[in-house]
Amino acid sequence: MIKLFVFCFNFLVFQKDTSAVTYKEYLGVINGYKQLLVDIREYKLTPVQARERFQEMMLVMKKAFPATRYDSTKVHLCFPLMGFDFRAVGGYGSGYIPRGYDLFDQAKKGSHPAHDIFMKDKNQDSRDDRTGDYVSVLSTTNGVVIATENGWQTGSEYRGGNYIWIYDTTNGGLWYYAHQREIYVKAGQVVRAGQKIALVGRTGFNAAMPRSDTHLHMTYLRIDEEGNPFPVNTYGWLKQATTLLDPRIAIDLEPITMLRKAEIQQKSKPMPDIKAPKTAFRRIEPIADEEPVKSRRRRRG
Ligand SMILES: [Zn+2]
């Protein structure tokens, strides 16, 4: 009897793992992920129910886009603020506080499983004081947008403001970008590493306050085989990230090399040989009058 049960169990698990994702299931994530976030925010689901729905969605995405690799020591990113590098990350990376984080329970507060990445904006108009221009937010990796908010209103109590969630098709995790001024992508859209997805802004209850310095709030969640999320400290990755100076060459960025490797492993056709101009990989030179991040007191939201 036990043997029969084990057999049936294995059979069911096997069936589950090999079944293809249907377009309907995929659309269920694209059209349903934001609703899940809203339901969590409005306490319409218990944490257990929310986790179950999240897990279902993540397993659909994992099947639809099997990760080409995930090695936490080798993840290579495009730095998410165009023209900036890791020195813009608040507090030398000390702003990352994962303890107590629960995506499914809004009642749990106090954690900050994220890095805040700051620009120079003394008059808080969301323009870089050095250039007078807005700062582009670039996708750190290749992925699929699964939720966006672009309608945050001043005075709203929602903390994320205008945000983007992207399923990372290279590493099989989730990126969350918050507080943007303007969003340029929509759920269902495929993005490449280095693609311009938004402008840094001050949307969100705390981020809009005069006490907050203008920044991007960014989280990465690793998704395990059961579809559970685990925040990851991305500071090491951000230190290694490529600074992009021109979004028009985004598609030539480094992850192409990784795709090429994955393709070779799968013995499929090699990618065409694309070479990015060297300027795309050049690090920005330190700007003489720039204060180190540590010397200024940073407020986050
Ligand atoms: Zn933050």
Ordered by where they begin, the domains of the chain are 86-295 (2.70.70.10)
pTM of this prediction exceeds 0.85: no
Ligand 1 centroid to Cα of residue 162, in Å, is 13
- What is the reported pLDDT for 301? 58
* Residue written as token pair 């180190």: 292
- What is the reported pLDDT for 264? 33
- What is the reported pLDDT for 262? 39
Three-state SS at 251 = helix
- What is the reported pLDDT for 254? 40
Please give the average per-residue pLDDT across 229-256, as a whole number. Answer: 76
Please report which residue ranges of the chain form alpha helices under DSSP H.
Answer: 2-18, 23-41, 47-64, 235-240, 255-265
- What is the reported pLDDT for 3? 54
The C-alpha atoms of residue 164 and residue 230 are separated, in whole angstroms, by 18
Confidence at 269, pLDDT banded by 50, 70, 90: very low
- Which residues on neighbouring strands pair with residue 145, listed in sequence order? 166
More confident residue, 197 or 289: 197
Ligand 1 centroid to Cα of residue 65, in Å, is 28
Ligand 1 centroid to Cα of residue 90, in Å, is 9
pLDDT by residue (tens digit) across 160-187?
999 999 999 999 999 999 999 999 999 9
Ligand 1 centroid to Cα of residue 178, in Å, is 8
- The residue type found at 253 is L
Distances (CA, A) of 264 to 88, 274, 276: 36, 16, 20
Q: Answer yes or no: is pLDDT of 21 > 90.
A: no
Ligand 1 centroid to Cα of residue 212, in Å, is 10
Ligand 1 centroid to Cα of residue 96, in Å, is 9
Ligand 1 centroid to Cα of residue 112, in Å, is 6
- Which residues on neighbouring strands pair with residue 199, listed in sequence order? 136, 182
More confident residue, 76 or 223: 223
- What is the reported pLDDT for 74? 85
Torsion of CA 229, 193, 182, 176, to 10 degrees: 10
The C-alpha atoms of residue 160 and residue 97 are separated, in whole angstroms, by 17
Burial 26-61 (b: 16+ CB within 10 A, else e): bebbbebbbebbeebeeeebebeebbebbbebbbbb
Ligand 1 centroid to Cα of residue 175, in Å, is 13
Q: Are 30 and 187 in contact (CB under 8 A)?
A: yes
Q: Answer yes or no: is pLDDT of 30 > 50.
A: yes
- What is the reported pLDDT for 18? 52
Ligand 1 centroid to Cα of residue 61, in Å, is 26
Q: What letter does residue 37 receive in the DSSP assignment?
A: H
